[in-house]
């Protein structure tokens, strides 16, 4: 019999192993890591299930948009320090967006942004991040199913 966290770890291991082996077969090289970034973002989100997916999608995609804007403006503006100037503005906007509920998962915004920078602005980052969010949801749901099948309720701690 396994604890819930063990079942979640097992489901995550299985599904992420499938992804890491399937990604090269469909022609994805090193950029396939973005699926893990989306998956990690789902698990780091304070919300789970459909609400977590919505918050992850909105936040990660806003981060992608900010990074794309930063990359574009960094190429358009020609003065020294233009990239840093644009980065400061977009980071400020990222923080302001926390006041909008569906965009309030700011670490997700940074996940989307740094993933886009790491991918050099490659738009393939978008479907890979989205896939990763659903990979995280799948790990979460599969872990719950495994727990129902092979899990053991953790003993409640008695308080004195």
Closest CA to 60 of 144, 128, 135, 151: 128
Q: How far apart are CA 40 and CA 16, in angstroms?
A: 11
**Contact by Cβ (8 Å): 103, 62:** yes
How much is the pLDDT for 154? 60
**∠ CA(135), CA(138), CA(142), 5° rounding?**
145
Q: How far apart are CA 75 and CA 130, in angstroms?
A: 27
How much is the pLDDT for 158? 44
> Which residue numbers in the chain have pLDDT < 70?
153-160
**Contact by Cβ (8 Å): 19, 139:** no
Q: What percent of the chain has pLDDT over 70?
A: 95
How much is the pLDDT for 97? 95
How much is the pLDDT for 98? 93
Query: pLDDT (tens digit, 9 = 90+) per residue, 71-114?
Result: 998 888 888 888 888 889 998 999 999 999 999 999 999 999 99
Exposed, middle or buried by CB within 10 Å (0-12, 13-18, 19+), for 120?
exposed
């Amino acid at each position: 019999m396994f604890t819930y966290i063990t079942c979640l770890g097992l489901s995550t291991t299985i599904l992420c192993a499938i992804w890491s082996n399937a990604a090269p077969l469909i022609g994805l090289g090193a950029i396939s890591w973005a699926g893990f970034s989306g998956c990690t973002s789902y698990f780091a989100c304070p919300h789970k299930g459909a609400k977590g997916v919505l918050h992850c999608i909105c936040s990660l995609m806003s981060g992608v948009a900010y990074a794309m804007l930063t990359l574009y403006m960094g190429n358009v503006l020609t003065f020294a320090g233009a990239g840093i100037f644009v980065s400061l503005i977009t980071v400020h906007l990222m923080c302001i967006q926390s006041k909008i509920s569906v965009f309030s998962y700011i670490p997700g915004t940074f996940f989307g942004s740094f993933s886009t920078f790491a991918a050099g602005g490659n738009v393939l980052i978008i479907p890979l991040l989205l896939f990763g969010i659903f990979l995280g949801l799948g790990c979460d749901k599969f872990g719950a199913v495994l727990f129902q099948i092979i899990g053991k309720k953790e003993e409640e701690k008695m308080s004195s």
